[in-house]
Amino acid sequence: MTEVVLFHHSQGRTDGVKAFAEELRQAGHTVHSPDFYDGNTFDTIDEGMAYAKSIGFGKLLEQGVAYAQDLPENVVYAGFSMGVMPAQQLTQTRPGALGGLFCYSFLPVSEFSETWPAGVPVQIHAMDEDPWFTEEDGDLTAAQALVAANPAEAELFLYPGKTHLFADSSLPDYNEPAAKLLTERALAYLAQLA
């Protein structure tokens, strides 16, 4: 099956992140889920972002990219929110990337390269009224631009709601119907890449 690197969000490698990784494993995939917070988790996004800022977003990005260097090339890079940064950089720039699976966030392609790599499929998942995705820094606009430019390779799934980390079963933002649909779509996507 597929080998996946899953990068956690700003609240850390929560039980919900671990549960999602385990669902992928139960489907037969190999999942690496590094913890860049040394076991620390946070109750709110703001607390997690403050901790990430104390480490340095650039340093966290470097750690994520460095983590993948000892792995095979044929990997799917997945990320939740803040974890999309290293996942997207690796998907766009590391040779042999099989694909990208990005939840709650997406950066403009120009952050990491001039164009999206040919033949590398991507799924992006977010809620349609999540202010972190739709308003804060243009994630929705960037995702829509990617889909428009690469309709055969890029998929954007918007779910009804306003919460951010809606597929993390250990957090108050959890939305079970949306989370189940996200997981089904992610598993179907990974199965196609196997």
> Residue 136's pLDDT is what?
63
Q: What are the pLDDT digits (tens) for 136-182?
A: 668 999 999 999 999 999 999 999 999 999 999 999 999 999 999 99
Tell me which CATH homologous superfamily contains domain 3-193: Alpha/Beta hydrolase fold, catalytic domain (3.40.50.1820)
pLDDT at 104: 97
pLDDT at 194: 78
Contacts of 148 (CB under 8 A, 6+ apart): none
- pTM for the complete prediction? 0.95
For the segment 8-27, the average pLDDT, to the nearest whole number, is: 98
Which tokens sit at 4? 């996946």
- Indicate the domain borders of the chain: 3-193
pLDDT digits (tens, 9 = 90+) for 92-150: 999 999 999 999 999 999 999 999 999 999 999 999 999 999 986 689 999 999 999 99
Average pLDDT over residues 28-32: 97
Output the DSSP codes for 18-56. Answer: HHHHHHHHHTT-EEE---TTTT---SSHHHHHHHHHHH-
pLDDT at 138: 82
The 3-state DSSP class for residue 183 equals helix
Query: What is residue 73's three-state secondary structure?
Result: coil
Q: What percent of the chain has pLDDT over 70?
A: 99
Name the 3-class secondary structure at 15.
Answer: helix
